[in-house]
Amino acid sequence: MFKQLWASAPSLAEAAPAATHAQPAAAAADGSQMVSRLAQHASKLGREAAEVRGVIGDTRQTAETQAATARELARQVKDVARVQQVIGTHTEQGVAAVDRARVAVQAVGSEVTGIVETLRKVAEAAHDITQIALQTRLVAFNASVEAKRAGEAGRGFGVVADAVKDLAARVEASSKDIMGTMAHLDTRIGTLAREIQAPEQQKTSGTAAGGTPQSGVHAALDEVADEVGRIAAAAEQSRGACGLLDQQMGAIEQHMRQTTRALDNAIGRSENLLRVSEQLIELAADSGVVTEDTPYIQAAQQAAAEVGKLLEGAVKQGSISLADLFDERYVPIAGTQPAQHTTRFCALADRLLPPVQERMLQLSDKVVYCIAADRNGYVATHNKQYNHPQRGDLAWDTAHSRYRRIFNDRTGLASAQNKRPFLLQTYRRDMGGGHFVVMKEAAAPITVNGRHWGGLRLAFKF
Protein backbone atom coordinates (compact mmCIF):
# COMPACT_ATOMS: atom_id res chain seq x y z
CA MET A 1 0.00 0.00 0.00
CA PHE A 2 2.74 2.44 0.96
CA LYS A 3 4.72 1.42 -2.11
CA GLN A 4 1.73 2.11 -4.25
CA LEU A 5 1.34 5.55 -2.68
CA TRP A 6 5.05 6.23 -3.10
CA ALA A 7 4.88 5.11 -6.69
CA SER A 8 2.01 7.45 -7.33
CA ALA A 9 3.72 10.39 -5.58
CA PRO A 10 5.54 11.70 -8.67
CA SER A 11 2.30 11.88 -10.63
CA LEU A 12 0.66 13.72 -7.77
CA ALA A 13 3.61 16.05 -7.54
CA GLU A 14 3.31 16.79 -11.23
CA ALA A 15 -0.45 17.26 -10.96
CA ALA A 16 -0.21 19.75 -8.12
CA PRO A 17 1.71 22.44 -10.09
CA ALA A 18 -0.62 21.95 -13.03
CA ALA A 19 -3.64 22.60 -10.82
CA THR A 20 -1.87 25.59 -9.31
CA HIS A 21 -1.28 27.09 -12.77
CA ALA A 22 -4.78 26.23 -13.97
CA GLN A 23 -6.45 28.28 -11.24
CA PRO A 24 -4.82 31.66 -12.13
CA ALA A 25 -5.47 31.03 -15.81
CA ALA A 26 -9.14 30.39 -15.11
CA ALA A 27 -9.24 33.43 -12.85
CA ALA A 28 -7.61 35.52 -15.57
CA ALA A 29 -10.15 34.30 -18.10
CA ASP A 30 -12.97 35.08 -15.75
CA GLY A 31 -11.45 38.51 -15.12
CA SER A 32 -11.17 39.17 -18.82
CA GLN A 33 -14.77 38.18 -19.35
CA MET A 34 -15.82 40.39 -16.46
CA VAL A 35 -13.86 43.35 -17.84
CA SER A 36 -15.33 42.71 -21.28
CA ARG A 37 -18.86 42.62 -19.88
CA LEU A 38 -18.10 45.75 -17.86
CA ALA A 39 -16.94 47.48 -21.02
CA GLN A 40 -20.10 46.43 -22.83
CA HIS A 41 -22.32 47.72 -20.01
CA ALA A 42 -20.30 50.95 -19.84
CA SER A 43 -20.70 51.35 -23.58
CA LYS A 44 -24.48 50.98 -23.31
CA LEU A 45 -24.51 53.36 -20.37
CA GLY A 46 -22.48 55.85 -22.37
CA ARG A 47 -24.86 55.62 -25.29
CA GLU A 48 -27.86 56.28 -23.08
CA ALA A 49 -26.04 59.09 -21.28
CA ALA A 50 -25.08 60.71 -24.60
CA GLU A 51 -28.66 60.45 -25.82
CA VAL A 52 -30.02 61.93 -22.59
CA ARG A 53 -27.43 64.70 -22.60
CA GLY A 54 -28.30 65.56 -26.21
CA VAL A 55 -32.02 65.72 -25.46
CA ILE A 56 -31.40 67.86 -22.38
CA GLY A 57 -29.14 70.11 -24.41
CA ASP A 58 -31.83 70.53 -27.05
CA THR A 59 -34.40 71.24 -24.36
CA ARG A 60 -32.12 73.80 -22.78
CA GLN A 61 -31.61 75.51 -26.11
CA THR A 62 -35.36 75.57 -26.64
CA ALA A 63 -35.82 76.99 -23.14
CA GLU A 64 -33.26 79.71 -23.85
CA THR A 65 -35.04 80.57 -27.09
CA GLN A 66 -38.38 80.70 -25.30
CA ALA A 67 -36.89 82.83 -22.54
CA ALA A 68 -35.48 85.23 -25.13
CA THR A 69 -38.89 85.33 -26.82
CA ALA A 70 -40.55 86.00 -23.46
CA ARG A 71 -38.12 88.84 -22.77
CA GLU A 72 -38.77 90.36 -26.18
CA LEU A 73 -42.53 90.00 -25.71
CA ALA A 74 -42.28 91.61 -22.27
CA ARG A 75 -40.35 94.50 -23.81
CA GLN A 76 -43.01 94.92 -26.49
CA VAL A 77 -45.75 94.81 -23.84
CA LYS A 78 -44.00 97.62 -21.98
CA ASP A 79 -43.76 99.56 -25.22
CA VAL A 80 -47.51 99.07 -25.75
CA ALA A 81 -48.17 100.22 -22.17
CA ARG A 82 -46.10 103.34 -22.79
CA VAL A 83 -48.01 104.01 -26.01
CA GLN A 84 -51.30 103.56 -24.14
CA GLN A 85 -50.06 106.03 -21.55
CA VAL A 86 -49.37 108.53 -24.33
CA ILE A 87 -52.82 107.85 -25.81
CA GLY A 88 -54.37 108.48 -22.39
CA THR A 89 -52.52 111.78 -22.09
CA HIS A 90 -53.62 112.85 -25.57
CA THR A 91 -57.23 111.87 -24.91
CA GLU A 92 -57.23 113.96 -21.75
CA GLN A 93 -55.92 116.83 -23.81
CA GLY A 94 -58.64 116.08 -26.38
CA VAL A 95 -61.37 116.29 -23.75
CA ALA A 96 -59.94 119.56 -22.53
CA ALA A 97 -59.84 120.85 -26.11
CA VAL A 98 -63.52 119.92 -26.60
CA ASP A 99 -64.39 121.80 -23.42
CA ARG A 100 -62.46 124.80 -24.68
CA ALA A 101 -64.25 124.54 -28.03
CA ARG A 102 -67.59 124.45 -26.21
CA VAL A 103 -66.68 127.59 -24.26
CA ALA A 104 -65.52 129.26 -27.47
CA VAL A 105 -68.77 128.32 -29.20
CA GLN A 106 -70.73 129.72 -26.30
CA ALA A 107 -68.72 132.91 -26.54
CA VAL A 108 -69.47 133.07 -30.25
CA GLY A 109 -73.12 132.49 -29.46
CA SER A 110 -73.08 135.43 -27.09
CA GLU A 111 -71.45 137.58 -29.75
CA VAL A 112 -73.98 136.45 -32.34
CA THR A 113 -76.78 137.35 -29.95
CA GLY A 114 -75.31 140.83 -29.63
CA ILE A 115 -75.10 141.06 -33.41
CA VAL A 116 -78.77 140.10 -33.67
CA GLU A 117 -79.69 142.87 -31.24
CA THR A 118 -77.62 145.36 -33.20
CA LEU A 119 -79.23 144.30 -36.45
CA ARG A 120 -82.65 144.74 -34.92
CA LYS A 121 -81.73 148.24 -33.86
CA VAL A 122 -80.52 148.93 -37.39
CA ALA A 123 -83.83 147.59 -38.72
CA GLU A 124 -85.77 149.83 -36.33
CA ALA A 125 -83.71 152.81 -37.45
CA ALA A 126 -84.39 151.95 -41.08
CA HIS A 127 -88.09 151.72 -40.27
CA ASP A 128 -87.96 155.14 -38.69
CA ILE A 129 -86.18 156.51 -41.74
CA THR A 130 -88.90 155.04 -43.94
CA GLN A 131 -91.57 156.77 -41.90
CA ILE A 132 -89.70 160.02 -42.05
CA ALA A 133 -89.21 159.65 -45.80
CA LEU A 134 -92.94 158.97 -46.21
CA GLN A 135 -93.83 162.06 -44.23
CA THR A 136 -91.27 164.05 -46.20
CA ARG A 137 -92.89 162.91 -49.44
CA LEU A 138 -96.29 164.01 -48.16
CA VAL A 139 -94.95 167.38 -47.15
CA ALA A 140 -93.17 167.76 -50.48
CA PHE A 141 -96.36 166.78 -52.31
CA ASN A 142 -98.37 169.37 -50.40
CA ALA A 143 -95.67 171.97 -51.05
CA SER A 144 -95.76 171.16 -54.75
CA VAL A 145 -99.55 171.62 -54.80
CA GLU A 146 -99.32 174.95 -53.02
CA ALA A 147 -96.53 176.06 -55.38
CA LYS A 148 -98.74 175.37 -58.37
CA ARG A 149 -101.51 177.41 -56.82
CA ALA A 150 -99.12 180.29 -56.31
CA GLY A 151 -98.57 180.41 -60.01
CA GLU A 152 -95.47 182.07 -61.37
CA ALA A 153 -94.33 183.15 -57.92
CA GLY A 154 -94.26 179.60 -56.55
CA ARG A 155 -92.58 177.99 -59.58
CA GLY A 156 -89.08 177.84 -58.00
CA PHE A 157 -90.47 176.56 -54.76
CA GLY A 158 -92.34 173.86 -56.69
CA VAL A 159 -89.11 172.68 -58.33
CA VAL A 160 -87.52 172.28 -54.92
CA ALA A 161 -90.58 170.51 -53.59
CA ASP A 162 -90.51 168.06 -56.48
CA ALA A 163 -86.79 167.36 -55.86
CA VAL A 164 -87.42 166.80 -52.17
CA LYS A 165 -90.29 164.48 -53.05
CA ASP A 166 -88.09 162.44 -55.40
CA LEU A 167 -85.30 162.25 -52.79
CA ALA A 168 -87.72 161.14 -50.12
CA ALA A 169 -89.02 158.46 -52.43
CA ARG A 170 -85.54 157.12 -53.02
CA VAL A 171 -84.80 157.25 -49.24
CA GLU A 172 -88.00 155.35 -48.59
CA ALA A 173 -87.11 152.69 -51.17
CA SER A 174 -83.59 152.32 -49.77
CA SER A 175 -84.90 152.06 -46.22
CA LYS A 176 -87.35 149.36 -47.26
CA ASP A 177 -84.51 147.44 -48.96
CA ILE A 178 -82.44 147.73 -45.79
CA MET A 179 -85.34 146.49 -43.68
CA GLY A 180 -85.87 143.53 -46.03
CA THR A 181 -82.19 142.59 -45.99
CA MET A 182 -82.03 143.04 -42.23
CA ALA A 183 -85.08 140.83 -41.78
CA HIS A 184 -83.50 138.07 -43.86
CA LEU A 185 -80.15 138.49 -42.09
CA ASP A 186 -81.89 138.53 -38.74
CA THR A 187 -83.58 135.24 -39.54
CA ARG A 188 -80.31 133.55 -40.55
CA ILE A 189 -78.27 134.93 -37.69
CA GLY A 190 -81.05 134.04 -35.29
CA THR A 191 -80.94 130.45 -36.53
CA LEU A 192 -77.16 130.42 -36.08
CA ALA A 193 -77.51 131.84 -32.62
CA ARG A 194 -79.95 129.11 -31.67
CA GLU A 195 -77.61 126.45 -33.13
CA ILE A 196 -74.62 127.52 -31.07
CA GLN A 197 -76.60 128.50 -28.01
CA ALA A 198 -75.48 126.57 -24.88
CA PRO A 199 -77.76 123.70 -23.80
CA GLU A 200 -78.34 125.39 -20.43
CA GLN A 201 -79.48 128.55 -22.19
CA GLN A 202 -81.75 126.51 -24.46
CA LYS A 203 -83.37 124.84 -21.48
CA THR A 204 -83.74 128.17 -19.74
CA SER A 205 -85.36 129.73 -22.80
CA GLY A 206 -87.46 126.64 -23.31
CA THR A 207 -86.24 125.90 -26.83
CA ALA A 208 -84.86 122.50 -25.78
CA ALA A 209 -87.71 121.57 -23.52
CA GLY A 210 -90.37 119.03 -24.28
CA GLY A 211 -88.05 116.74 -26.22
CA THR A 212 -86.77 119.37 -28.68
CA PRO A 213 -83.44 118.15 -30.12
CA GLN A 214 -80.25 119.69 -28.87
CA SER A 215 -78.41 122.14 -31.15
CA GLY A 216 -76.29 120.54 -33.88
CA VAL A 217 -73.06 122.21 -32.81
CA HIS A 218 -73.28 121.12 -29.20
CA ALA A 219 -74.54 117.69 -30.19
CA ALA A 220 -71.45 117.28 -32.40
CA LEU A 221 -69.20 118.47 -29.58
CA ASP A 222 -70.87 116.02 -27.21
CA GLU A 223 -70.30 113.18 -29.70
CA VAL A 224 -66.63 114.12 -30.01
CA ALA A 225 -66.32 114.25 -26.23
CA ASP A 226 -67.98 110.85 -25.93
CA GLU A 227 -65.69 109.29 -28.53
CA VAL A 228 -62.60 110.76 -26.90
CA GLY A 229 -63.83 109.46 -23.55
CA ARG A 230 -64.31 105.97 -24.99
CA ILE A 231 -60.78 106.09 -26.44
CA ALA A 232 -59.44 107.12 -23.05
CA ALA A 233 -61.35 104.31 -21.34
CA ALA A 234 -60.10 101.76 -23.89
CA ALA A 235 -56.54 103.02 -23.49
CA GLU A 236 -56.82 102.74 -19.72
CA GLN A 237 -58.25 99.23 -19.98
CA SER A 238 -55.51 98.23 -22.40
CA ARG A 239 -52.88 99.70 -20.12
CA GLY A 240 -54.24 97.68 -17.22
CA ALA A 241 -54.20 94.53 -19.35
CA CYS A 242 -50.61 95.29 -20.41
CA GLY A 243 -49.63 95.72 -16.78
CA LEU A 244 -51.11 92.34 -15.89
CA LEU A 245 -49.52 90.76 -18.96
CA ASP A 246 -46.17 92.29 -18.03
CA GLN A 247 -46.40 90.68 -14.60
CA GLN A 248 -47.28 87.34 -16.15
CA MET A 249 -44.41 87.62 -18.64
CA GLY A 250 -42.05 88.40 -15.78
CA ALA A 251 -43.23 85.28 -13.97
CA ILE A 252 -42.82 83.20 -17.16
CA GLU A 253 -39.32 84.55 -17.66
CA GLN A 254 -38.47 83.71 -14.06
CA HIS A 255 -39.77 80.16 -14.54
CA MET A 256 -37.76 79.86 -17.75
CA ARG A 257 -34.60 80.93 -15.90
CA GLN A 258 -35.29 78.34 -13.23
CA THR A 259 -35.87 75.74 -15.94
CA THR A 260 -32.59 76.69 -17.61
CA ARG A 261 -30.73 76.36 -14.33
CA ALA A 262 -32.34 72.98 -13.72
CA LEU A 263 -31.39 71.87 -17.22
CA ASP A 264 -27.83 73.09 -16.68
CA ASN A 265 -27.71 70.97 -13.55
CA ALA A 266 -29.12 68.00 -15.45
CA ILE A 267 -26.56 68.50 -18.23
CA GLY A 268 -23.78 68.55 -15.63
CA ARG A 269 -25.03 65.32 -14.11
CA SER A 270 -25.39 63.67 -17.50
CA GLU A 271 -21.86 64.84 -18.31
CA ASN A 272 -20.62 63.17 -15.15
CA LEU A 273 -22.46 59.99 -16.01
CA LEU A 274 -21.07 60.07 -19.54
CA ARG A 275 -17.57 60.71 -18.21
CA VAL A 276 -17.84 57.76 -15.82
CA SER A 277 -18.90 55.46 -18.64
CA GLU A 278 -16.01 56.70 -20.80
CA GLN A 279 -13.56 56.19 -17.96
CA LEU A 280 -14.82 52.65 -17.45
CA ILE A 281 -14.36 51.92 -21.15
CA GLU A 282 -10.86 53.40 -21.08
CA LEU A 283 -9.96 51.38 -17.99
CA ALA A 284 -11.12 48.25 -19.78
CA ALA A 285 -8.97 49.15 -22.77
CA ASP A 286 -5.95 49.99 -20.58
CA SER A 287 -6.24 46.63 -18.83
CA GLY A 288 -5.17 44.92 -22.03
CA VAL A 289 -8.44 43.09 -22.42
CA VAL A 290 -9.63 43.16 -26.00
CA THR A 291 -13.02 44.84 -26.23
CA GLU A 292 -15.20 45.84 -29.16
CA ASP A 293 -13.49 49.26 -29.07
CA THR A 294 -9.91 47.97 -29.20
CA PRO A 295 -9.57 47.82 -33.02
CA TYR A 296 -10.73 51.42 -33.37
CA ILE A 297 -8.43 52.67 -30.62
CA GLN A 298 -5.44 50.94 -32.20
CA ALA A 299 -6.41 52.23 -35.66
CA ALA A 300 -6.68 55.80 -34.35
CA GLN A 301 -3.25 55.52 -32.73
CA GLN A 302 -1.73 54.10 -35.90
CA ALA A 303 -3.28 56.80 -38.10
CA ALA A 304 -2.20 59.55 -35.68
CA ALA A 305 1.40 58.31 -35.80
CA GLU A 306 1.26 58.16 -39.60
CA VAL A 307 -0.12 61.70 -39.92
CA GLY A 308 2.55 62.95 -37.51
CA LYS A 309 5.31 61.41 -39.65
CA LEU A 310 3.84 62.89 -42.83
CA LEU A 311 3.74 66.37 -41.30
CA GLU A 312 7.26 66.01 -39.92
CA GLY A 313 8.45 64.90 -43.36
CA ALA A 314 6.84 67.95 -44.98
CA VAL A 315 8.61 70.24 -42.53
CA LYS A 316 11.92 68.44 -43.07
CA GLN A 317 11.58 68.66 -46.86
CA GLY A 318 10.77 72.36 -46.64
CA SER A 319 7.25 71.97 -48.02
CA ILE A 320 5.97 74.00 -45.06
CA SER A 321 7.45 75.77 -42.07
CA LEU A 322 6.63 74.91 -38.49
CA ALA A 323 5.13 78.38 -38.09
CA ASP A 324 2.76 77.79 -41.02
CA LEU A 325 1.96 74.26 -39.87
CA PHE A 326 0.97 75.57 -36.44
CA ASP A 327 -0.88 78.59 -37.86
CA GLU A 328 -3.83 79.64 -35.69
CA ARG A 329 -4.99 82.66 -37.67
CA TYR A 330 -8.23 81.23 -39.00
CA VAL A 331 -9.41 83.51 -41.80
CA PRO A 332 -13.22 83.42 -42.27
CA ILE A 333 -14.53 82.50 -45.72
CA ALA A 334 -17.11 85.12 -46.64
CA GLY A 335 -20.68 83.98 -47.15
CA THR A 336 -20.35 80.56 -45.50
CA GLN A 337 -22.87 79.17 -43.06
CA PRO A 338 -21.83 77.18 -41.04
CA ALA A 339 -18.72 79.35 -40.94
CA GLN A 340 -15.64 78.06 -42.74
CA HIS A 341 -12.04 79.29 -42.41
CA THR A 342 -8.68 78.97 -44.09
CA THR A 343 -5.18 78.63 -42.65
CA ARG A 344 -1.68 78.48 -44.10
CA PHE A 345 -1.58 74.66 -43.86
CA CYS A 346 -4.82 73.97 -45.78
CA ALA A 347 -3.06 73.12 -49.06
CA LEU A 348 -0.69 70.71 -47.31
CA ALA A 349 -3.58 69.05 -45.47
CA ASP A 350 -5.51 68.64 -48.73
CA ARG A 351 -2.49 66.87 -50.24
CA LEU A 352 -1.28 64.65 -47.36
CA LEU A 353 -4.28 63.75 -45.21
CA PRO A 354 -6.90 62.19 -47.57
CA PRO A 355 -4.98 58.92 -48.23
CA VAL A 356 -4.71 58.19 -44.49
CA GLN A 357 -8.21 59.37 -43.63
CA GLU A 358 -9.91 57.51 -46.48
CA ARG A 359 -8.04 54.28 -45.73
CA MET A 360 -9.30 54.30 -42.14
CA LEU A 361 -12.87 54.23 -43.46
CA GLN A 362 -12.21 50.72 -44.75
CA LEU A 363 -11.55 49.43 -41.24
CA SER A 364 -15.23 48.62 -40.67
CA ASP A 365 -18.62 49.53 -42.01
CA LYS A 366 -19.24 51.09 -38.60
CA VAL A 367 -16.65 53.81 -39.19
CA VAL A 368 -18.36 57.13 -39.93
CA TYR A 369 -15.39 59.42 -40.43
CA CYS A 370 -11.68 59.80 -39.80
CA ILE A 371 -10.23 63.31 -39.60
CA ALA A 372 -7.17 65.11 -38.34
CA ALA A 373 -7.94 68.25 -36.29
CA ASP A 374 -5.47 70.75 -34.93
CA ARG A 375 -5.40 71.49 -31.19
CA ASN A 376 -8.20 74.07 -31.56
CA GLY A 377 -10.57 71.64 -33.30
CA TYR A 378 -9.96 73.05 -36.79
CA VAL A 379 -10.46 70.48 -39.57
CA ALA A 380 -8.80 71.59 -42.80
CA THR A 381 -9.72 68.48 -44.81
CA HIS A 382 -12.56 66.09 -44.12
CA ASN A 383 -13.44 62.76 -45.72
CA LYS A 384 -14.49 63.07 -49.35
CA GLN A 385 -18.15 62.41 -48.65
CA TYR A 386 -18.21 65.42 -46.29
CA ASN A 387 -15.84 67.61 -48.30
CA HIS A 388 -18.35 69.24 -50.68
CA PRO A 389 -18.61 73.00 -51.32
CA GLN A 390 -21.55 74.71 -49.70
CA ARG A 391 -24.78 75.16 -51.65
CA GLY A 392 -26.50 77.76 -49.51
CA ASP A 393 -28.83 75.17 -47.92
CA LEU A 394 -28.02 75.22 -44.21
CA ALA A 395 -29.21 71.68 -43.47
CA TRP A 396 -27.36 70.21 -46.45
CA ASP A 397 -24.22 72.28 -45.82
CA THR A 398 -24.17 71.29 -42.15
CA ALA A 399 -24.16 67.60 -43.10
CA HIS A 400 -22.06 67.56 -46.28
CA SER A 401 -19.70 70.55 -46.10
CA ARG A 402 -17.71 69.82 -42.97
CA TYR A 403 -14.22 70.80 -44.06
CA ARG A 404 -12.48 74.11 -43.26
CA ARG A 405 -14.53 74.23 -40.05
CA ILE A 406 -13.75 74.58 -36.36
CA PHE A 407 -15.39 71.89 -34.22
CA ASN A 408 -14.83 73.24 -30.72
CA ASP A 409 -17.74 71.43 -29.07
CA ARG A 410 -17.18 69.21 -26.04
CA THR A 411 -16.19 66.13 -28.04
CA GLY A 412 -14.25 67.88 -30.78
CA LEU A 413 -12.17 70.04 -28.47
CA ALA A 414 -11.46 67.18 -26.06
CA SER A 415 -10.21 64.96 -28.91
CA ALA A 416 -8.14 67.77 -30.41
CA GLN A 417 -6.48 68.70 -27.12
CA ASN A 418 -6.00 65.18 -25.75
CA LYS A 419 -2.36 64.25 -25.07
CA ARG A 420 -2.90 60.81 -23.53
CA PRO A 421 -2.26 57.69 -25.62
CA PHE A 422 -5.92 57.63 -26.56
CA LEU A 423 -9.29 59.12 -25.65
CA LEU A 424 -12.60 57.34 -26.08
CA GLN A 425 -15.78 59.40 -26.06
CA THR A 426 -19.48 58.86 -26.64
CA TYR A 427 -21.51 61.68 -28.13
CA ARG A 428 -24.49 62.60 -30.24
CA ARG A 429 -23.50 63.98 -33.62
CA ASP A 430 -25.59 66.70 -35.29
CA MET A 431 -26.10 65.72 -38.93
CA GLY A 432 -28.23 68.78 -39.72
CA GLY A 433 -31.95 69.13 -40.29
CA GLY A 434 -32.77 67.86 -36.79
CA HIS A 435 -31.09 64.50 -37.44
CA PHE A 436 -28.71 63.15 -34.77
CA VAL A 437 -26.60 59.99 -34.54
CA VAL A 438 -25.12 58.57 -31.31
CA MET A 439 -21.63 57.23 -31.85
CA LYS A 440 -18.24 56.71 -30.27
CA GLU A 441 -15.00 58.43 -31.10
CA ALA A 442 -11.47 57.17 -30.51
CA ALA A 443 -8.85 59.91 -30.58
CA ALA A 444 -5.06 59.82 -30.44
CA PRO A 445 -2.67 62.78 -30.25
CA ILE A 446 -0.71 63.94 -33.33
CA THR A 447 2.78 65.26 -32.56
CA VAL A 448 5.21 66.99 -34.90
CA ASN A 449 8.85 67.23 -33.79
CA GLY A 450 7.80 66.66 -30.21
CA ARG A 451 5.07 69.36 -30.29
CA HIS A 452 1.41 68.54 -29.91
CA TRP A 453 -0.24 69.52 -33.20
CA GLY A 454 -3.75 68.11 -32.67
CA GLY A 455 -5.62 64.84 -32.66
CA LEU A 456 -6.71 62.05 -35.00
CA ARG A 457 -10.46 61.52 -34.60
CA LEU A 458 -11.95 58.16 -35.60
CA ALA A 459 -15.73 58.01 -35.14
CA PHE A 460 -17.71 54.78 -35.33
CA LYS A 461 -21.25 53.61 -34.70
CA PHE A 462 -22.38 51.31 -31.92
pLDDT digits (tens, 9 = 90+) for 378-434: 999 999 999 999 999 999 999 899 999 999 998 999 999 999 999 988 888 766 566
Candidates 454, 456, 424; CA nearest to 440 is 424
Helix (H) or strand (E) holding 50: helix 2-149
Q: How far apart are CA 286 and CA 298, in angstroms?
A: 12
**Per-residue CA distances from 291 to 26, 39, 287, 288 (Å):** 19, 7, 10, 9
Residue type, 246: D
- pTM (2 decimals)? 0.54
The more confident residue out of 98 and 325 is: 325
pLDDT at 449: 96
CB distance 459 to 429 below 8 Å: yes
pLDDT at 109: 65
Q: How far apart are CA 273 and CA 97, in angstroms?
A: 72
Residue type, 320: I
CB distance 391 to 338 below 8 Å: no
pLDDT at 47: 63
Q: How far apart are CA 134 and CA 169, in angstroms?
A: 7
pLDDT bracket for residue 8 (50, 70, 90):
very low
pLDDT bracket for residue 300 (50, 70, 90):
very high
pLDDT at 3: 36
Q: Provide the pairing of β-strand 405-406 with 423-432.
A: unpaired
Query: Which domains are present in the chain?
Result: 48-279 (1.10.287.950), 293-462 (3.30.450.20)
pLDDT at 181: 79
pLDDT at 401: 96
Q: Is the pLDDT of residue 347 over 90?
A: yes
pLDDT digits (tens, 9 = 90+) for 22-63: 455 555 556 666 666 666 666 666 666 666 666 676 677 677
Q: Is the pLDDT of residue 366 over 80?
A: yes
Q: What is the mean pLDDT of residues 178-192?
A: 74
pLDDT digits (tens, 9 = 90+) for 268-284: 666 666 667 666 667 76
pLDDT bracket for residue 148 (50, 70, 90):
confident
**Taking CA 448 as the corner, what is the angle to CA 447 and CA 454, rounded to the nearest 5 degrees?**
45
Q: Is the pLDDT of residue 207 over 60?
A: no
pLDDT digits (tens, 9 = 90+) for 374-392: 999 999 999 999 999 999 9
